[in-house]
Structure 1
Amino acid sequence: MPISAKIRMPLDIAMTVATLVLMGGNGLFYSAFDGAVDSGLVHEVLGVVLFVLWAVHVVLNRAWVKAVLKGKYNALRIVRTIINAGVIVCVLFLMVSGVMLSTHVFAWLGIESGASFARNAHMLASHWYLVFVSLHIGLHLSLFIRGRVATGITFALAAYGIYAFAARGLWKYLTLQQPFFFLDLERGYLLFALDYIAIMALFAMAMSLAMKAMVYNSR
C-alpha cells in the first residue's frame, strides 16, 4: 500500500478534530485551561497546523487539481468542484485574516491595519469553512459510514444537527448578522463538541443524499 494511502485516514481525522476545536475560538482554550495558558497563542498555532495539514491534503489529491480544466462536467462534477473550491477559498481567507489578526505567531510582521475587516472575514470564513468541509465529507461519506447501525447513528446525529444549527445560531454567522463570536459553554464541553459534530453530520448527510440522487437521475 502506498504511503499516501496509509496517511489519508489519520490526516482526515486530524483535520476534522482540529476544525472542531478551532470552531470554539480563543474562549474554548481559555475556559478549558482555566486561563492557565495563552488561549490566543494556542488558537494561532493550531490554525497554522490545520493550514499545513490542508496543504498536505491538497498535495495528496493533486491529481484532482490537475484535472479541473480537463474532461466534461456533469451536475455531480460541478457540485464537487464548487464544494472543493469553496473549501480552498475559505482556508485561504482564514489564513490571511488569521495572519492579519495574529498577536503571537505572526506578530513580527507588524500588521496594524485592517483588523476590523480581518476579524469579520475570519468569522465569516470560519463558519462557511465548516459548511463546505462538511459537504466535502458528504461527498465521501459512503467510505466511512457502512452498515445499518453506523447509518442510523449518522441519521440521528444529522437530525439533532438541525436543532444544534438553530440553537448555536450558525445562520447568523453565515450571513454576518452576528458581529462577534459567542461561545456558550454553559452546557459543557461535551455538548459543545456534540453540537458541532451533529451540524457537520447534517450537511454531510444532506450532501451524500443529494449526490446519490444526482447519480440516480443521471442513469
Structure 2
Amino acid sequence: MNRTMLFRLVNDLVMTVLMLIAMAYYITGNMIHEVVGVVVLVLFIAHNFFNRRWYKAILKGKHNFRRILQIGLNLLFLVAMVVMMICGILISSDIFPFIPVNNDMIFRQIHVQSAYWGFIIMAVHIGLSWGMIINSVRRMTGITGTSRIRTIALRILAVLIVAYGVHSSFEGEMGSKLFIYNPFGWFNDDSTIRFLIDHLSIMGIYVVGTHYALKFIQKQEKRTVQKN
C-alpha cells in the first residue's frame, strides 16, 4: 500500500471517530465539541482534496445502479456536512464568538439534525466502500488467503453488531433524532465508551446492510448476464 492510500485511510478513520466524539456534546462540553468540529472540518477538506478526481469523473463512464447510488449518497453527504459545518460556525460561542447571529435556534436545529443525517449517510457511504477498505487492510496486514473459519467468525460478529445496533437505535431514539429537534438535547448519563460503542453499532447496521445489499445486487446482475 502506498503512502497516499495509507494517509487517506487514516484521515477517514480519524474523521469518523472525531465525528462520533463531536456528537457526544453533553459528555465533552461545548469547547471540546467546537475544537473537534474544526478538526473534522480540516479532515473533511483533506478527504475531498484527495478524492477530487471523483468529482471530475461524475458524468464520465457508465452509470449502473451502484454508481448512481454512490454518486447520490456522496453528494447528499457533502451537502449534509457543509450545512452542518456552516451552521456550527454561525452558532459557535467559543471559537467564533465574533460572528453575530440573530435567532440562532433555527441554525442549532439545522446543525443538530444535519449532523444525525450526516452520521447515517456516512455509515452508508462507508458500506459502499467496505469491500475496498477490507482489501486495503488485507494488503497492509499481508493477509492474502481465504479462511472459512475467519469468514464465519466475521459474519457472526457482523450479526451481533447489527443486533446491538438495532437495540441501541431504539434505546437512543435515533428515529426521533432524525425528524424531531429537541432544543434541550438528548442527554443521558452514559459513559464516553458506552456512547461510542452504541453509536458505532448503529453505524454497523448501515455499513453491514449496505455492504451485503450490494453483494446481493452484484450476484443478481451476474446471473442476469449469464442468462443472457
Both proteins in one fold, TM over 0.5: yes
Q: CA RMSD in A?
A: 1.8
* Cα distance in 1 for residues equivalent to 2:210 and 2:182: 26
Shift of 1:206: 0.8
Find the counterpart in structure 1 of residue 104 from structure 2.
115
Shift of 1:23: 1.2
| Change in 2 beyond 3 A, CA 1:80/1:181 | same
Unaligned runs of 5+ in 2: 139-149, 223-228
Identity %: 27
TM-score, normalised relative to structure 1:
0.88
Matched, 1:218 2:190: no
| Change in 2 beyond 3 A, CA 1:112/1:179 | closer
Q: Per-residue displacement from partner, 1:194-219 (whole Å, max 9, x unpaired)?
A: 11010000111111111112222222
Q: Per-residue displacement from partner, 1:2-26 (whole Å, max 9, x unpaired)?
A: 432120221121011101111111x
Contact 2:109-2:181 at 8 Å conserved across structures: no
Larger of the two Rg values belongs to structure: 2
Q: Per-residue displacement from partner, 1:110-169 (whole Å, max 9, x unpaired)?
A: x22140110110111010011001001111223338842333222211111111111100
* Residue in structure 1 matching 2:117, options 116, 128, 131: 128
Q: Per-residue displacement from partner, 1:71-119 (whole Å, max 9, x unpaired)?
A: 231111111111111211111011111011101211122x221401101
Q: Please give the residue correspondences for 1:3-152 in structure 2 after superposition, counting only pairs within 5 Å.
A: 3-25=3-25, 27-29=26-28, 39-109=29-99, 111-142=100-131, 143-144=133-134, 147-148=150-151, 149-152=153-156
Structure 2 counterpart of 1:181, which letter? G
Unaligned runs of 5+ in 1: 30-38
Find the counterpart in structure 1 of residue 143 from structure 2.
none
Contact 1:94-1:122 at 8 Å conserved across structures: yes
Contact 2:91-2:108 at 8 Å conserved across structures: yes
Q: Per-residue displacement from partner, 1:162-189 (whole Å, max 9, x unpaired)?
A: 111111001001112545421212x433
Structure 2 counterpart of 1:120, which letter? Q
Matched, 1:173 2:163: no
Structure 2 counterpart of 1:28, which letter? I
Shift of 1:41: 1.7
Matched, 1:203 2:206: yes
* Cα distance in 2 for residues equivalent to 1:57 and 1:41: 24
Structure 2 counterpart of 1:172, which letter? S
* Cα distance in 1 for residues equivalent to 2:171 and 2:207: 19
Structure 2 counterpart of 1:81, which letter? I
